[in-house]
Amino acid sequence: MIEEPRAEVALRQLKFRDPDTARRLVRTLERVTKEIGRSPVSVMHVCGSHEQAISKFGLRATFPKDLNVIMGPGCPVCITDMPEVDEGVALARQGCVIASYGDMLRVRGTALSLNDAQAEGATVEVVYSATQAVELAREMPDREVVFFATGFETTAVATAAIVRSELPKNFSVLSAHKYIPPAMEIVAEMPETRVEGFLAAGHAATITGWGIFEPFVERHRIPVVVAGFEPLDILAGLARLVELVRDETPTVVNMFPRCVTKEGNLRAQEELWSVFRPIGGRWRGIAHVPKGNLRLRDEWAHVDARRRFTIDLAALWDGVPPALAADCVCGDIMSGISTPTDCKLFGRECVPDAPVGACMVSSEGACRIWHQYGGHPNLEAL
Amino acid sequence: MCLGVPGRVVSVREGFAEVDFWGVRREVCLDIVDEPVAPGDYILNHVGFAIRRIPAEDIAQTLALYETLLAEAPSNDLMVADVRGEISATGKR
Ligand code: SF4
């Protein structure tokens, strides 16, 4: 019996909106990767939604075996550093109401998570947006409400718009917002990772524009393709990316023109940079990223929880992290050195209901995504 | 959290739009959208803010992914949950 190539099996099993286009793209990927003649060819995407789509739709089963598609530091919850979580926990224990996105509550800082603080009696509320955090402050006029803000530039823009609006006096922001372009620089320089091309996230680029990647491409001589989130968008983006790798053409290609322009959303950028300034800081498990953290500018000191309160972290730092956490390789996964299945705790001691590391907490974390969908799906089981 | 979700503008007033997300009507802030929007336009919503007016010719293509996702039975699917979360991030009318 002739064995059917696995990409063919995958294509037959997976439901594509346009199977012919999918088949053509998969063949291009296969052929061009072969033409590069190296193994593996490693490319990186930097977006939890990309990983969700790749894993959910089983795309890895259609990728050539010599093509390694890595999820980089594209999960804002995962890269929020432990001292940043500690700040939120400390403020909660000091009597502030902490409002944050749901996944943040379960991520542990040096010793505790916001959920732990809540169990001790602190007030911690889940919100879906900065606007809802402001509403909460209006409903609790005699409490200090701190919005613990996480997310990349796409989400930071919304926080910026809120900061510039009319705010109740008892509202402030603890910013753990992150800025993706500088992190791509860091990962591009990691010798162990050897990323040969980046797939940039369509919706972050909606704000920043694709032009922002030009200096990066110039410096690192690595191509960047901006891609959308449909299975076909991702296949098309990857096919273009491997062509650029093969042709040794470091350039930026926008494959998501329906949302992304060269200059991006200028109005949103103006809001973003009028409220935030980029400063250096650690991304959990990865590295110090110069200009990778977004902090409030001096003009907004009155809304900045870090200036408004004295945050006492010392008390938290006596807590000893549990022994298991030492085995978590989240940072290596986000740097492209390991995959979730390399971690010996994956699916055993570390599961979504009892996560050891941040990558198993967030819906955008590689471990959580692989745990739900499998990173390399078994097509027989589909 | 970066996925966003598209919706159809029903009406516009003072910096906000009433937007229809597959039958769910919510309020979306227009402070940072790149172009003026009018009823009938589609916008991409992220955490309660419109970040892009989707060009008319691209709407069908943009909606396809979400239609696939929302057609699924309610489950603990991560991507579906993220899309529903984006709708919850908008203002109640
Ligand atoms: S499976 Fe858990 S412990 Fe292992 S790397 Fe992922 S988050 Fe960390």
Q: Give the pair of three-digit tokens for residue A94.
A: 């000091």
CA atoms of B64 and A229, how far apart (whole Å)? 11
B39 or A22, which is more confident = B39
A198 within ligand 1 shell (Cβ under 6 A)? no
Q: Dump pLDDT digits (tens) for A69-94.
A: 999 999 999 999 999 999 999 999 99
A302 or A376, which is more confident = A302
SS (H, E, C) chain B: CCCCEEEEEEEEECCEEEEEECCEEEEEECCCCCCCCCCCCEEEEECCEEEEEECHHHHHHHHHHHHHHHCCCCCCCHHHHHHHHHHHCCECC
- Mean pLDDT value across chain A: 90
In the three-class reduction of DSSP (H, G, I as helix; E, B as strand; rest coil), residue A146 is classed as strand
Residue nearest to atom 1 of ligand 1 (CA): A346
Confidence class for position A37, pLDDT limits 50, 70, 90:
very high
In chain B, what percentage of residues exceed pLDDT 70? 94
pLDDT for res A54: 92
Choose among B34, B49, B61: nearest Cβ to A161.
B49
Torsion of the alpha carbons at A347, A191, A81 and A297, rounded to the nearest 10: -150
CA atoms of A177 and A80, how far apart (whole Å)? 8
Residue B93 placed within a domain: no
B90 or A126, which is more confident = A126
Nearest CA in chain A to B57: A258
pLDDT for res A1: 43
The mean pLDDT of A295-300, rounded to a whole number, is 98
**A6-74+190-254: which CATH architecture?**
3-Layer(aba) Sandwich (3.40)
Sheet holding A224-227, edge to edge: A67-71, A41-45, A197-201, A224-227, A252-254
Residue in the structure block whose two tokens are 């290596």 = A332
Tell me the C-alpha to C-alpha distance, in Å, between residue A259 and each of A49, A352, A365, B33: 15, 33, 24, 12
What single letter denotes the amino acid at residue B70?
L
The mean pLDDT of A84-107, rounded to a whole number, is 95
Q: Residues A66, A41: contact at Cβ < 8 Å?
A: yes
In the three-class reduction of DSSP (H, G, I as helix; E, B as strand; rest coil), residue A281 is classed as strand
**Above 50 in pLDDT, residue A382?**
no
Q: What is the CATH superfamily name and number for domain A82-179+265-317? A: HypD, alpha/beta domain 2 (3.40.50.11740)
User: Per DSSP, what are the bridge partners of residue A175?
Assistant: A149
Cβ partners under 8 Å of residue B52, min gap 6: A206, A259, A265, B33, B34, B43, B44
Q: Give the pair of three-digit tokens for residue A265.
A: 């959303």
Report the CATH number that the domain containing residue B17 is assigned in CATH: 2.30.30.140
Q: Residues B63, B23: contact at Cβ < 8 Å?
A: no
pLDDT for res A29: 95
Q: Dump pLDDT digits (tens) for A109-147.
A: 988 999 999 999 999 999 999 999 999 999 999 999 999
| Ligand 1, pocket-test mutation among A108, A346, A362, most atoms within 8 A of CB | A346
pLDDT for res A281: 93
Q: Is the peptide bond before A278 cis (omega within 30 degrees of 0)?
A: no
Q: How far is the CA of A101 from the centre of ligand 1 (A)?
A: 21
Domain extent at residue B59: 5-88
Top mean pLDDT of A54-63, A272-281, A360-369 is at A272-281
Residue B33 placed within a domain: yes
Residue A22: CA count within 13 A, CB half-sphere: 22
A interface with B, Cβ–Cβ < 8 A, is 17, 47-49, 52-53, 56, 76-77, 101-102, 128-132, 151-152, 154-155, 157-158, 161, 165, 201, 203-204, 206-207, 229-230, 258-259, 265-268, 271, 363-364, 368-369, 372-373
In chain B, what percentage of residues exceed pLDDT 90? 45
Q: Dump pLDDT digits (tens) for A144-203.
A: 999 999 999 999 999 999 999 999 999 999 999 999 999 999 999 888 878 999 999 888
Q: Dump pLDDT digits (tens) for B60-83.
A: 878 888 887 777 766 678 888 888
CA atoms of A101 and A110, how far apart (whole Å)? 19
Q: Residues A135, A111: contact at Cβ < 8 Å?
A: no
**Above 70 in pLDDT, residue A9?**
no
Phi-psi sector, A40: left (phi>0), alpha (psi -120 to 50), beta: beta
pLDDT for res B4: 84
Residue B16 placed within a domain: yes
The mean pLDDT of A312-327, rounded to a whole number, is 73
A328 within ligand 1 shell (Cβ under 6 A)? yes
User: According to CATH, where is 3.40.50.11750 located in chain A?
Assistant: 6-74+190-254
CA atoms of A160 and A276, how far apart (whole Å)? 7
Residue B52 placed within a domain: yes
- Distance of residue A226 Cα from the nearest chain B Cα, in angstroms: 14
A154 to B91: CB separation less than 8 angstroms, yes or no: no
Q: Give the pair of three-digit tokens for residue A101.
A: 């996105």
Q: How far is CA A89 from the centre of its chain?
A: 22
**Above 50 in pLDDT, residue A381?**
no
**Above 80 in pLDDT, residue A18?**
no
pLDDT for res A177: 97
The total domain count for chain B is: 1
A367 within ligand 1 shell (Cβ under 6 A)? yes
pLDDT for res A8: 67
B interface with A, Cβ–Cβ < 8 A, is 1-4, 29, 31-34, 44, 46-49, 51-52, 54-55, 58, 61-62, 64-65, 68, 76-79, 81-82, 85-86, 88-91
Q: Residues A170, A141: contact at Cβ < 8 Å?
A: yes
User: According to CATH, where is 3.40.50.11740 located in chain A?
Assistant: 82-179+265-317
**Above 70 in pLDDT, residue A12?**
no
CA atoms of A227 and B72, how far apart (whole Å)? 24
**Above 90 in pLDDT, residue A57?**
no
Residue B35 placed within a domain: yes
